[in-house]
Amino acid sequence: MPKRLVFVCSSILVLALAAACGGGDTSGLPPAPAGSAAGGAGTFDMSKATATVSGKIAFEGAVPAPAKIQMSADPFCAQSATPETSVSEEIKVSDGGLENVIVYVKAAPAGLTFATPAEPKVINQKGCHYTPHVFTMMVNQPLEVQNSDMTLHNIHVWAVTNTPVNIGQAVQGMKNNVKLDKEEIPVPIRCDVHRWMNSFTGVFSHPFHTVSGGGGSYELKLPPGTYEIVAWHEKLGMKSQMVVVADNDKKDLGFSFAAGATAD
């Protein structure tokens, strides 16, 4: 065979092999699955969390009177106190329901990854009081710390699994952003200047968590599956129940905490 013909045949063979290995036109290849990169699993689409688990966190027994907070050590705090900010929120009951209970899925479905919200959680120091008293967030979600008072505050995040955070804010209007990069529940938050100021957060690697609100109500949106649902309260401890949900299911799952119980 003439040398020129051998060279041409070799060149054609090389080009054919390159195209077969992905170096040529890939328009005929099947597209990567929606919501993911080729070769990657992608993040969970929350529109697929079609099941609803909701209920009431009931409080049994006599409701204790909220403890009065003594703020006289800081004249600003004493002057700016309101009926809401001058009492403890350790046990807050409305319509027979316990508020400020963290309700969450103990273990998210295996093999799923979840997008970290870009929108920060906000904790505000106003009236020498933390708002909110209890909240949840995701790992690496920004936490914006605000000081709305004309007095010195510091926010001390007493983390154990995460790196503790201690930020002083001496000027009204100051804001700082912090991140917690590991799962941890609970994480106490306190002010070293005003010892009565306290809050709690739960940090999760998944989005299946919430805090009970008025009347002790809560709601979780979940994908179909079997879950252990945990309810945690700062003073009354922790309880859990199993639940199985199918697509578009609606399950009522109530919890009950009794007066006099203590957290572990």
Tell me: pLDDT of 39 over 60.
no
Q: Residue 16: its pLDDT value, please?
A: 38
User: What letter would DSSP give residue 6?
Assistant: H
CATH code, domain carrying 56 = 2.60.40.420
Contacts of 208 (CB under 8 A, 6+ apart): 49, 104, 105, 108, 220, 221, 222, 227
Evaluate whether residue 219 is within a structural domain.
yes
Q: Residue 259: its pLDDT value, please?
A: 87
Q: Residue 264: its pLDDT value, please?
A: 56
**What confidence tier does 201 reach under pLDDT thresholds 50, 70, 90?**
very high
Q: Stretch 221-244: mean pLDDT, rounded?
A: 98
Number of domains the chain is built from: 1
Higher pLDDT, 27 or 108: 108
Residue 163, CA distances (Å) to 69, 178, 182, 240, 256 in order: 30, 11, 9, 28, 33
Encode pLDDT of 67-99 as tens digits.
Answer: 999 999 999 999 999 999 999 999 999 999 999
Evaluate whether residue 152 is within a structural domain.
yes
Evaluate whether residue 14 is within a structural domain.
no
Evaluate whether residue 33 is within a structural domain.
no
Evaluate whether residue 108 is within a structural domain.
yes
Q: Residue 212: its pLDDT value, please?
A: 98
**What confidence tier does 125 reach under pLDDT thresholds 50, 70, 90?**
very high
Contacts of 75 (CB under 8 A, 6+ apart): none
> How do beta strands 121-125 and 143-147 pair?
parallel
Evaluate whether residue 22 is within a structural domain.
no
- DSSP for 159-211, written as a single string: -SSSPPEEEEE-STT-EEEE---S-EEEEEEE-SSSTT-EEEEEEESSS-EEE
Q: Can the peptide bond before residue 186 be classed as cis, meaning omega within 30 degrees of 0?
A: yes
Q: What is the pTM for the complete model shown? A: 0.83
Query: Is there a contact between 175 and 199 (Cβ–Cβ < 8 Å)?
Result: no
Evaluate whether residue 98 is within a structural domain.
yes
Evaluate whether residue 137 is within a structural domain.
yes
Domain membership of residue 111 as a residue range: 46-258
**What confidence tier does 193 reach under pLDDT thresholds 50, 70, 90?**
very high
